[in-house]
Amino acid sequence: MSERKLQVIPLGGLGEFGMNSTALRYGDDIIVIDAGMMFPDAELLGVDIVIPDFTYLEENREHVRALILTHGHEDHVGATPFLLAQLNLPVYATAFTRALVERRLEEHEMLSQTRLNTVKPGERIEIGPFQIEFIHVTHSIVSAVALAVTTPLGVIIHTGDFKIDPTPTDNELFDLHTLAAYGKRGVLLLLSDSTNVDRPGYTQSERAVRPRLEEIFTRAGRRLVIACFSSSVHRLQQIIELSAQHGRKVALLGRSMMNVTEIAHSLGLLHIPDGILLRPQDIMPTLANKVTVLISGTQGEPMSALSRVAVDNHKNFSIQAGDTVVLSSRIIPGNEKPIFRMVNHLARRGADVVYGSMNPPVHVSGHGSAEELKLMLNLVRPRFFAPIHGEYRQLAKHAALAQHLRFQGLEDTFILETGETLVLDAKGAHKGGRVTVGRVCIDSGTIDEVVEDMVIRDRRHLSEDGFVLPIIAINKHTGRCEGLPEIVSRGFISSDDGADLLQSAKQVVARTLEQSTAEERTDWGVMQEKIRADLKRFLAKETQRRPLIMPVILEV
């Protein structure tokens, strides 16, 4: 390819929530920004996580130079072990993001062979033709950065996830000055977060949750159980401070909560007063009005700590009447059913459950609303603009927002979807060809457990129509059937209602055997297909259902 072409290649996260990953290519050099995962839709039965298809990177493995991470949320780093299992790349991340990734790599026994590099906001690194500056931004997780990637053709700004918080709890302000300086010098392309483009105004500061939390601490007469995203270190800090003020000890429940607090504390990002922590086994013996429980599981995940507590299945802690449970988190669309099922269980145990939108809020978003996205566009003033991170409706709205501003210098906006490339050269920018992209389904969270589409289709088939097992005993000497075939079914029809149907099905199988030649009867593969086809036709005609049919042939 020509040396003077720059390509932006979205591998995930455009036109969908999660799986954020983008490749930048100049000549024969490629860098990858983020490698995220997403949780599966309801129809992906038995799948644990979904990651991008990294085929394009594998096909160009000799050109891929590095993986750069913007922050530590799973939708940006969750696929890192799976990408590094295919390509042994150097990884660049801030200290907190690196520590979260290290835990993931440890789980997959990959830490020793991975090249991890720590960077700080304000630092610059050079990788081939790319010079990358890390710019501090505020988000719902600490140590988030935007990237200014200087290429021979110009500067690309990739915002990562952000909101412009004027009063962050750690007083680490959003670095607007650096972004404005790039804007003055000239930016070729802006890639900007679109998650909250349909929310008018500004996203509230993290400090906005403090008044509501103070009110809850003041009126809680017994144990206070607060669930929040374990990565929300700012929120954890406020809860720990309020617990200290109200004379409460703090217990941590849930593996992710323990891991993240340990990492944040060791890096000096979370300050925990001496003597305030309480062991999980000491929660119940301690006076109820002297305990705060910080717990993970805000989305009703089946095996999370809060879900187990809700059904009284936690070894160290039981909810009792009068306890207050606070869901200091957003209900992610699609998770309403498991969350409200969990809330119902908590309410049955006599807990006062606080959740949902209220004023002052118990949760604020980590993504910028429409006015912040306008501010980003006006500061950076790019020549070209492509919205990222969101479904198509959000990308389209963000593109329209940029066109509406009509600031000087904006030549064009591009709505890209995953797999569509954007090509920039001396003449300008245009959409290029498509690259191979898709979703890879992972079962059990291990590198090797990739779930094929066929497996998911079979699982869906089983869940909807059940299965039927015709069992045929064939004499290997004569090729004849020994007695009438047996039929076992599960999830298809009840034994009482289906007795006559299954009897008829046996006759269909017997007839198929009778009408087959002696040669066919000695070829199990042929017989299985013939029985499957005839039985499928019969059952579809009789019941209008299509169970999974798996003939079993026994040699006797």
What is the per-residue pLDDT for 447? 55
9-63 confidence digits (pLDDT tens): 999 999 888 899 999 999 999 999 999 998 776 656 556 788 999 999 999 999 9
Model confidence, pTM: 0.81
Percent of the chain with pLDDT over 90: 65
Task: Give the model confidence (pLDDT) of 117-157 as tens digits.
Answer: 999 999 999 999 999 999 999 999 999 999 999 999 999 99
Q: Which helix (H) or strand (E) holds 309?
A: helix 305-310
* Strand boundaries in 138-221, DSSP class E: 144-151, 154-158, 187-193
Residue 370 half-sphere exposure, CB side, CA atoms within 13 Å?
13
Give 284-295 pLDDT, tens digit per residue: 999 999 999 999
- Residue 397 contacts residue 411 (beta carbons within 8 Å): no
- Count of CB atoms situated within 10 Å of the CB of 509: 23
Identify which has the larger pLDDT, 7 or 436.
Answer: 7
Angle at 29 between CA 25 and CA 32, to 5 degrees: 60
Statement: residue 91 has pLDDT above 60: yes
pLDDT at residue number 443: 67
- Count the helix, strand and coil residues of the chain and give each as a percent rounded to the nearest 5: 35, 25, 40
> Using one digit for the tens of pLDDT, what is the confidence trace for 435-449?
988 888 776 555 555
CATH number for 466-555: choose from 3.40.50.300, 3.10.20.580, 3.40.350.10, 3.40.50.720.
3.10.20.580
Q: Which fold is adopted by the domain 6-201+365-450?
A: Metallo-beta-lactamase; Chain A (3.60.15)
Q: Point out the least confidently predicted range of 126-140, 217-231, 304-318.
A: 304-318
Q: 80, 71, 73: which is closest to 230 by C-alpha? A: 73
Active site residue 367: yes
310 or 476, which is more confident: 310
Reported as a pLDDT band with limits 50, 70 and 90, residue 87 is very high
Long-range Cβ contact pairs of 552-555 (< 8 A, separation 24 or more): 552/469, 552/470, 552/471, 552/472, 553/472, 553/474, 553/524, 553/527, 553/528, 554/471, 554/472, 554/473, 554/474, 555/474, 555/476
Q: Say which residue, 104 or 300, is predicted with more confidence.
A: 104
Q: How open is the CA angle 512-517-518, to the nearest 5 degrees?
A: 115
Interatomic CA distance for residues 91 and 447, integer angstroms? 18
pLDDT of 452 > 60? The answer is no
Q: Which residues contact 479 (CB under 8 A, 6 or more apart)?
A: 518, 521, 522
The region of weakest confidence among 266-280, 320-334, 358-372, 435-449 is 435-449
**Tokens 């680490």, residue?**
172
User: Residue 519: what pLDDT?
Assistant: 65
Q: Does 41 qualify as catalytic in the annotation?
A: no
3-state secondary structure of 485: coil
C-alpha span between 308 and 327 (Å, rounded): 15
DSSP string for 77-110: HTTHHHHHHHS--EEEE-HHHHHHHHHHHHHTT-
Closest by CA position to 78, among listed 445, 417, 450: 445
Q: Give pLDDT, residue 2.
A: 45
Distance of CA 424 to the CA centre of its chain: 30
Q: Which of 193, 323, 345, 398 is catalytic?
A: 193
One-letter amino acid at 35 equals A
| Secondary structure (3-state) at 241 | helix
The CATH fold assigned to 206-354 is Rossmann fold (3.40.50)
Task: Return the DSSP state at 32.
Answer: E
Say whether pLDDT at 454 is over 70. Answer: no
Which member of 76, 139, 367, 398 is catalytic?
A: 367
pLDDT band for position 175 (50/70/90)?
Answer: very high
Helix (H, G, I), strand (E, B) or coil at 126: strand
Domains 206-354 and 466-555 share a fold: no
Residue 334 pLDDT > 90? no
Residue 535, pLDDT > 50, answer yes
Inter-axis angle of helices 499-514 and 524-543, nearest 10: 140
At residue 530, does pLDDT exceed 70?
A: yes
Q: Where are the domains of the chain?
A: 6-201+365-450, 206-354, 466-555
Beta bridge partners of residue 125, listed in sequence order:
132
Q: Please give the residue that has the higher pLDDT: either 201 or 337.
A: 201
What pLDDT does residue 543 have?
85
